[in-house]
Structure 1
């Protein structure tokens, strides 16, 4: 997809994530999460208008709580986790970071002052990348010189080939961030992407990704926010369906079978405790269940 878009539309779920981050920046306590003050630049004008008024933001938050309970909280926790990981990599002078399915991620901009000499490659579908660059240009925000955009279709293209063309060096220690992507991929595409770490990267490289837990239909009501999320995805985001999930409690086995060992695993409850707990011990809210984030490296 380096020369053409193959008819793919810009990701609506990536835009949804940008809206949640923009809302969180204005509405939630910044002691908990790293505010994303740039995500608003990717939003259509009517959503930016909503963000300008607190009473409208309150109305939107109330509606979102009913329609997709726990999604605001999930986005806050997810953003905070990956922000911390990204900053740690820069502070520890990782020579290379690869964002697999970057969407409207703004970390290369928000944390550019921490970057000494880290090469960063953003991968995503061409349509989303083109829209991202267009929005940044309109906002007069320059993409740093150390950042390379490379278009890819995770379900169809060879990621090592795309990375190589973008200047990726497989002999450098690399942090791979795979945020909000696995659930939309075929299992074979998930496996082939993980092989980038086990077969085409330095042995000290790290990958972090989030995933959905497989929920039997008979138990779906026992998992906070999951039923509502599935309904809204089917109704409004039909082009980006949930395909992939991992059985509850099987993430360690899943990684082991693919030549990886776990560094850290956070389920929904752990993410709430770590990223949604205020100084007084109260939670800003419960996040959607059936969700986890894992970091791993080669065995």
Structure 2
């Protein structure tokens, strides 16, 4: 993927997280208090789309998707950190803001893994916003097409002998099955106790009505901008692929079940959809 394509995906996700706090009603699913600042001069433009068309199935669906997956992942990280986990790897970090707003930074070392061009762009946005990268955050530039992920992590100071949580959100659907499997093969080399939280796209037969409506709009648009969705998995299929590469699926989580049920009792347009799911998997040796 080219830099501007990666940027588009990252911008849309960050804008949806920022817009959630502006467009939607409480209870908030997830509070990303940094995303709007990171978007800088484009924040109002992007949030403005959500203000004007926030009930549209794609915009409301994107807000539900990015907030629910972040809520689930960071809640799991907090649980693991309480039990002593000290390393958090964000694959395809894009404009993720965890390290710039979390009280866990310092107790947990954060490694943002992404394409070198995307990281240069993000660092420029951080500088423009006056946001300082905290101690405890390391950028690990990796071109997934050509670079070795483990080598990139190790060069950034990651310790493969200690367990980590690896989050991989909003990425796998843009990759081939072979590329997904190759990433699993790297993660299996990490220490026992390591967990992976991955978002994956469902095949059409498993989508519900809302997920299908989202896909009908969003997938052709993604393909037009050079980012077609390439991989789709049933939970059973993904469990087999994980197992083949040394990972055991602990759970597959529907968006509706990824957060407390009370957070879906809403007066705004946010509703859960079955388009993507989360899997939590563990390294087994």
Q: Same fold (TM over 0.5)?
A: yes
Alignment partner, residue 101 of structure 1: 92
Name the structure 1 match of 2:22. 26
Match for residue 241 of structure 1? Answer: 228
Tell me, which stretches of 5 or more residues in structure 1 are unaligned?
1-5
Q: Is the 8 A contact 2:50 2:59 kept in 1?
A: no
Aligned runs of 1:63-212 on 2, under 5 Å? Answer: 65-66=56-57, 70-111=61-102, 113-199=103-189, 201-212=190-201
Asked whether the equivalents of residues 210 and 274 of structure 2 are also in contact (C-alpha less than 8 Å), the reply is no
TM superposition shift of 1:44: 5.5
1:285 to 2:270 alignment: yes
Equivalent of residue 265 in structure 1, options 252, 258, 264? 252
The reply on whether 1:250 has 2:256 as its aligned counterpart is no
Displacement, 1:7? 6.3
**Residues 12-23 of structure 1 mapped to structure 2, 5 A cutoff:** 12-23=8-19
Aligned partners of 1:154, 1:15: CA distance in 2, in Å?
Answer: 20
Secondary structure of the structure 1 residue equivalent to 2:228: coil
Deviations 1:165-210 (A, max 9, x none): 11111100111111111111122221111122212x1111111100
Note closer, same or farther for the CA distance 1:139–1:114 as it changes in structure 2 (3 Å cut): same
Distance 1:180 1:50 in 2: 19
Q: Secondary structure of 1:223's match? A: helix
Quote the offset at 1:67 in angstroms. Answer: 5.1
* Alignment check: 8 A CA contact 2:13 2:62 kept: no
Give 5+ residue unaligned stretches, structure 2: none
Residue in structure 2 matching 1:39, options 29, 35, 41: 35
| Contact 2:115/2:141 (8 A) holds in 1 | yes
The 2-side partners of 1:260 and 1:188 are apart by: 16
RMSD: 2.9
The TM-score, its normalising length taken from structure 2, stands at: 0.87
Shift in Å, 1:274: 4.0
Report the count of equivalent residues: 283
